[in-house]
Amino acid sequence: MKIAVIGAGSWGTAISAMLAEKHPASDIRLWARSPETVAEIHQVKENRRYLPGVLLPQSLQCTSDLKESLAGAAVVVMVTPSHAVREIARKVAPIISPDAVIVSATKGLEEVSLKRMSQIIAEEIPGLASRIAVMSGPNHAEEVGRKYPSTTVIAAKKKAIAEQLQDLFMLPYFRVYTNPDVMGVELGGALKNIIALGAGIADGMGFGDNSKAALMTRGLAEIVRLGIALGARPLTFAGLSGVGDLMVTCTSKHSRNYRAGLLLAQGKTISEVCGATNMVVEGIRTAKAAYSLAQQNQIVMPITEQMYHVLYNHKPAKEAVLELMTRGKTHEVEEVAVEPIDWEN
């Protein structure tokens, strides 16, 4: 069997290492944009720029030729930053096998269309729209690469596809759950990054654990509110791709979004924050998209709204905090009736 992993950042490298370890006799081919990364992975079996200190399996192949990575691949994992997904999917479309399964492991929303990654891939590769799954959960590449026990969710509309991928990825240190709620799993992974920026800002301002717990809990409340309005299942957000990922990203030293928040609290601008890392800080673009989605759907998302103003309208974080703490009184929980989501045939 051949599997292509498109995107050789931290997560694509860790995913391809897992697959090569689990399927040593299969052709696992990682596509990297830069030929230097390809050469490094072949020569020293390490991706020093994006996943330093993790020795990659001997059998892992790497290429910067998209055609070579995709030819004959039964499964294609798309894991570039969200802003590159449409462009890459467009290039993949004419080359990918007509019966391949696609897994999106990217976390984000498209800035202008406000779409989820699986929606973009379905638009660009319409022939495979029913064969797209998503993978999301509390999965820092630095830890998965070191084989620390980790868990994730694979969501697909069809049970057979979700279970096929569950079998493909399961390892003793990487436990995979399935879920039919593709939208909920994707929204959880994308929106938690906005809250992580806030958690970094809170810590950077010298606040304590109470503040962070408040941000995480009320952040989850607004994620669920938007998710329900768009058609996701509330319980999905209580799972690994919801609260699980929110916890890890708001508390981990590995979190790029959390670290970006720390820098924002020091008064750094978006371009200074992005310039301080070679890695993608998805929450910055997602905050803009989620703010628009909330407005379009008339959903109250106070933390997202404040994050948007801090990021894009130079609002001082101190002012944003005060507005969050003194806004109109509300109840904690709103009762809503929701339709269950089941597998499609």
Ligand X SMILES: NC(=O)C1=CN([C@@H]2O[C@H](COP(=O)(O)OP(=O)(O)OC[C@H]3O[C@@H](n4cnc5c(N)ncnc54)[C@H](O)[C@@H]3O)[C@@H](O)[C@H]2O)C=CC1
CB-CB contact of 307 with 287 (8 Å): yes
Q: Can you spell out the DSSP letters for 114-165?
A: --BHHHHHHHHSGGGGGGEEEEESS--HHHHTTT--EEEEEE-SBHHHHHHH
Q: Which of residues 39-78 bind ligand X (CB under 6 A)?
A: 50
141 marked as binding residue: yes
Q: Which residues pair with 174 in a beta bridge?
A: 150, 171
343 marked as binding residue: no
Q: Which of residues 100-119 bind ligand 13P (CB under 6 A)?
A: 107
The pattern of x and - marking residues 97 through 126 that bind ligand X according to CB under 6 A reads: --------xxxx------------------
The pattern of x and - marking residues 249 through 288 that bind ligand 13P according to CB under 6 A reads: x----xxxx-------------------------------
- When binding is defined by CB under 6 A, the residue of 274, 279, 299, 300 that contacts ligand X is 279
10 marked as binding residue: yes
Closest Cα to residue 193, out of 274, 83, 286? 286
Cα–Cα distance for residue pair 89/85, rounded to 1 Å = 6
Catalytic residue among 192, 253, 315, 329: 192
DSSP state of 138: S
Q: Which is nearer to ligand X, 281 or 310 (CB)?
A: 281
Tell me which of ligand X, ligand 13P, none is bound by residue 280, counting a contact when its beta carbon lies within the kind-specific cut-off of 5 to 8 angstroms. Answer: ligand X
Q: Is 91 a catalytic residue?
A: no
In Å, what is the CA distance from 151 to each residue of 144, 157, 254?
9, 20, 16
Query: Residue with structure tokens 């569950």?
Result: 166
177 marked as binding residue: no
Q: Among 199-207, 279-287, 300-308, 327-335, which window interacts with ligand X (CB under 6 A)?
A: 279-287
Q: Which is nearer to ligand X, 169 or 302 (CB)?
A: 169
Q: Which residues pair with 76 in a beta bridge?
A: 4, 102
What the block records as the tokens of 66 is 């998209």
Backbone angles phi, psi at 221, to 5 degrees: -60, -40
How many positions of this chain bind ligand X (CB under 6 A)?
25
What residues are labeled active site?
192
